[in-house]
Amino acid sequence: MTKPLPTIPGFDAPAGIGHNNPPEPTVDLDKLKELDGNKLYREGLLAPTVNDLKDEAAAFAADVTTEEGRKAIKSFAYRLTRSKNILDEKGKEINDTLRVHINAVDERRRTMRKELDTLIADIEKPLTQWEAAEAQRKNKLDADLGFVKNAIVFFQEPTLEQIDERIEGLKRFLGYDWQEYVGEGPQALDNGLKFLAEKRVIREQQIKDQEELASLRAAEAARQLRQPVHVLLRHVAMQNDPAFNGDRVETHSPYPDENGVRHAQPSFVAAKPSADDRKREINGWIVEAITSVNCAVPITEEQAKAIVIAIVRGQVPNVTITY
């Protein structure tokens, strides 16, 4: 019984045992190597060449069980590999040639873009400069309008100097070219100047009123300071003279009563036990008077001493201390 020969994928089974059928070459590899790649890849010769190789492969048959058949298979596969490499190299040569042209074209493109970009920039330069100047002008105009509008805003009660500074700042915009703000700008400026002028009058009156009030308060404080001192001194004299016997010396108070009449005020004089005792007693009264004055009114101890000493020395009109 005859054993079947194995078939080679892509080829017809051999005709018989030990039979090798190498096809007649239809593609001359030497001529293929010399062939211009453009004819293959650009003029359509590539597909026919590949088809010829396919036809050769279809006609190839070899007995793989024999050494001759195995050599034939290797030889034909080598032929096909060489054909493939030749065709591929032809394509690479075209690509290399094309790449040179592509690189040259790319370089020309870069040069063209650079030159035209420079040309475009030169053409657009006046417009670019105008747009920059216009943006700067608009920003300054907006800032000036904002300054005028905000000139009336104070976060605390301003001084006259601060108001005057704002007024001078607004006066700089008299006759200002407000351009597209020709309506809004002058109106804001006029409103601001009027507001600040009124604000200044009000502030002046406030300051005047505050000064008058401070003067009245100072006068009242001085009056209240003088009256308690006089009363306290009499009170101290009465409280500290156990030998008081009713002898009196009148002093005249500068302060009228509720009916406007000035009355003589009694000043009490104590009896005189002895000169030394009386001197010590008087010194004690003076010390107590100083302490009382210092506690009753908001003055320093030195001021209280000065008041008592001035009264004792007769330097305070209409007020005396006698003993």
Cβ atoms of 313 and 305 within 8 Å: the answer is no
The C-alpha atoms of residue 240 and residue 268 are separated, in whole angstroms, by 11
Q: Is residue 322 part of a domain?
A: no
In whole angstroms, what separates CA 40 from the centre of its chain? 70
The C-alpha atoms of residue 151 and residue 132 are separated, in whole angstroms, by 29
Same domain, 226 and 189: no
Q: Each residue of 123-139: pLDDT tens digit?
A: 999 999 999 999 999 99
Q: Is residue 295 part of a domain?
A: yes
Amino acid 25 reads P
Same domain, 1 and 142: yes
Q: Please report the pLDDT score of residue 34 as a whole number.
A: 87
Same domain, 244 and 114: no
Same domain, 23 and 137: yes
Same domain, 146 and 168: no
Query: Under 8 Å CB-to-CB from 254, ≥6 apart: which residues?
Result: 226, 262, 317, 318, 319
The C-alpha atoms of residue 250 and residue 119 are separated, in whole angstroms, by 113
Q: Is residue 141 part of a domain?
A: yes
In the chain, the number of structural domains is 3
The C-alpha atoms of residue 67 and residue 156 are separated, in whole angstroms, by 114
Same domain, 93 and 173: no
Same domain, 197 and 272: no
Q: Is residue 234 part of a domain?
A: yes
The model's pTM: 0.42
Residue labelled with tokens 């409280």: 239
The C-alpha atoms of residue 148 and residue 170 are separated, in whole angstroms, by 6
Question: Which has more pLDDT, 286 or 171?
Answer: 171
The range of the structural domain enclosing residue 175 comes to 160-210
Same domain, 29 and 145: yes
Same domain, 144 and 21: yes
Q: Is the pLDDT of residue 106 over 90?
A: yes
Q: Is residue 321 part of a domain?
A: no
Same domain, 85 and 25: yes
Q: Please report the pLDDT score of residue 26 as a whole number.
A: 76
Question: Which has more pLDDT, 26 or 130?
Answer: 130
What is the average pLDDT across 286-293? 61
Range in 9-13, 180-184, 283-287 the model is least confident about? 9-13
Amino acid 321 reads I
Q: Please report the pLDDT score of residue 68 as a whole number.
A: 93
The C-alpha atoms of residue 188 and residue 192 are separated, in whole angstroms, by 6
Nearest-CA neighbor of 295 among 236, 250, 218, 213? 236
DSSP-based three-state secondary structure for 199: helix
Q: How far is CA 323 from CA 99, 117, 146, 156, 285, in A?
A: 132, 113, 78, 59, 11
Same domain, 206 and 224: no
Q: Is the pLDDT of residue 272 over 90?
A: no
Q: Is the pLDDT of residue 2 over 50?
A: no
In whole angstroms, what separates CA 232 from the centre of its chain? 65
What is the average pLDDT across 193-200? 95
Same domain, 133 and 256: no
Nearest-CA neighbor of 244 among 323, 127, 188? 323
Q: Is residue 323 part of a domain?
A: no
Q: Is residue 78 part of a domain?
A: yes
In whole angstroms, what separates CA 163 from the centre of its chain? 29
Query: Under 8 Å CB-to-CB from 24, ≥6 apart: which residues?
Result: 56, 59
